[in-house]
Amino acid sequence: MYHTTTRGLLLAAAAFAASPAHADDSVEFYLSRIAALNHAGPHLNAVIAINPDAAQAARIATGAGTGPLAGKPILIKDNIETREPIATTAGSLALADNVTGRDAPLVARLRAAGAVVLGKSNLSEWANIRSSASSSGWSATGGQTRNPHATDRSPCGSSSGSGAGVAAGLAWAAIGTETDGSITCPASMNGVVGFKPTVGLVSRTHVVPISHSQDTAGPIAQNVHDAALLLTAMAGSDPADPATAMADARRTDYVAALKTANLKGLRIGVLRKSAGSDAKVQALFAKALADLKAAGADLVEIDYDRDPAMGRDELTVLLYELRVDLGAYLAGLPGKVAVRSLADVIAFDTAHADTELRWFGQDTFEQAQAATDAAAYKAARANSLRLAGKDGIDHLLAANHVALLIAPTAGPAWPIDLVSGDHGVEAGAGSLPAIAGYPHLTVPMGAIEGMPVGLSFIGTAWDDARVLAAGAAYEAARTVPLAKPTFAPWRERALR
């Protein structure tokens, strides 16, 4: 039997669950949901900070009545700078004073399209690169983000608050960032749409970095249409980010591209082995394949085994680039912050071990600080890029005469474990597009015991429009019912 307080919280949360998550797009509506579901009730901890100027910004945006995102309230992952008087912390207390007063170019583009910054979303601290034993969605600034489908299960990460926030209806949509899986995994496990664009389509300026080779921002939304709307606004070249030099030439109207979305005759490569060994994931994947085939897709089975050297060399790249790229970001920050290098961050964490290192350490940071072999780094980058790109996705597409690749994005969410950390994700092929820098979309394909699982669509460089269109066509053809958030612990729900 539930305690009275627990039962009351569950009843209140159930009332929110029964109401439309996006009954209207007003700032006031979303602030009320944040108050009830983030700061109270199930305490989702998906939102770190509220923009104090959000209501006024919404009045201006809706009054102007222009722009494809006019008045739409969105959450921005808290490793992306915004001009509001709130810190960009990357979840760390070391950046508690990092109020830069400037917008990342991607945020400026969203504002120009009419979007309203509602607030900042929680994340795995430092985008989940600090420790090998971390719990996805935990940060010293925001606490542990909870999955609205089961509050005792992981939201995945590192864009945990962005995924959970959209799933819980705390904002119309959100922006996340990904180095490897940090948009697509939380979108999948929270039952929403997430899109990792081609690296170089969206600016990374004023975004707390891990790796210039693999970092990108991307949209998390309720459906593919809204993700495409956000991407159309976000995409574009930025003189301060050399990777985006081709973005203006490559970008398009991604919403318009959805109008012709069709699966008929589309050859899609099925990465069967990437479904993992879980029979329930395989069964759900089989239903998605049946829906794709019924809609006219030509499915091609592909026998692919990931080369272990790809992941090994990716880690070498991430460790080396983290020290250099994060150091450059911190050194260039305006104002007064407590840290100016990775070494400073490590020292800060050690000095504040009671709060920063309470649950897990910083072994990955320490490895990165020691990663100074430039020759080994260059060789690792060349090899991992080849294995994921030319000899990976590009080879699989060409050799099998397919346009796209598909696989489950991940398995269902595991229990939150702050003592031992994440339990890992067996299913999925997300590292291929992450390392190659290619587009990757996840769309909900159903649920296992109430826990969402997504379907991944993967393409080659700059094929973002085709990937989104295929995902939208699948979304329309999907026959499997989707789970709705319960805002209750899975353990208690299962025992009722």
Give the chain's radius of gyration (CA, Å). Answer: 21
Tell me the DSSP string of 183-200. Answer: THHHHHHHTSEEEEPPTT
Residues belonging to the active site: 77, 158, 182
Q: How far apart are CA 267 and CA 459, in angstroms?
A: 12
CB 222, CB 167: distance < 8 Å: no
Instruction: Give the pLDDT of residue 398.
Output: 98
Per-residue pLDDT for 340 more than 80? yes
On average, the pLDDT of the chain sits at: 94
For 111-168, how does the pLDDT look when each residue is reduced to its tens digit (9 = 90+)?
999 999 999 999 999 999 999 999 999 999 999 999 999 999 999 999 999 999 999 9
Instruction: Give the pLDDT of residue 426.
Output: 76
Tell me the percentage of the chain whose pLDDT exceeds 90. 90
For 249-265, how does the pLDDT look when each residue is reduced to its tens digit (9 = 90+)?
999 999 999 998 999 99
Domains identified in the chain and CATH numbers: 4-495 (3.90.1300.10)
Per-residue pLDDT for 9 more than 70? no
- Angle of the 464-477 helix axis to the 279-294 helix axis, nearest 10: 90
Mean pLDDT value across residues 440-459: 98
Give the predicted TM-score (pTM) of the model: 0.96
Instruction: Give the pLDDT of residue 126.
Output: 98
* pLDDT band, residue 17 (cuts 50/70/90): low
Identify which of 149, 155, 129, 142 has the alpha carbon closest to the alpha carbon of residue 414. Answer: 155
**CA–CA distances in Å: residue 50 to residues 95, 106, 173:** 17, 19, 15
Per-residue pLDDT for 75 more than 70? yes
For 465-486, how does the pLDDT look when each residue is reduced to its tens digit (9 = 90+)?
999 999 999 999 999 999 999 9
Q: Classify residue 398 as left (phi > 0), alpha (psi -120 to 50) or beta.
A: alpha
Per-residue pLDDT for 11 more than 60? no
Instruction: Give the pLDDT of residue 365.
Output: 98
Instruction: Give the pLDDT of residue 453.
Output: 98
* pLDDT band, residue 4 (cuts 50/70/90): very low
23-32, 39-48, 61-70, 176-185: least confident range? 61-70
> CB burial class (10 A; 0-12, 13-18, 19+) of residue 335?
exposed
For 365-399, how does the pLDDT look when each residue is reduced to its tens digit (9 = 90+)?
999 999 999 999 999 999 999 999 999 999 999 99
Q: How far apart are the first and last CA of the chain?
A: 9
Instruction: Give the pLDDT of residue 490.
Output: 87
* pLDDT band, residue 296 (cuts 50/70/90): very high
- Kindly give, in sequence order, each residue whose CB lies less than 8 Å from that of residue 42, ignoring residues fewer than 6 positions away: 9, 13, 146, 148, 151, 487, 488
Instruction: Give the pLDDT of residue 18.
Output: 53
Identity of the amino acid at 354: D
Q: How far apart are CA 425 and CA 409, in angstroms?
A: 9
- Kindly give, in sequence order, each residue whose CB lies less than 8 Å from that of residue 240, ignoring residues fewer than 6 positions away: 105, 203, 205
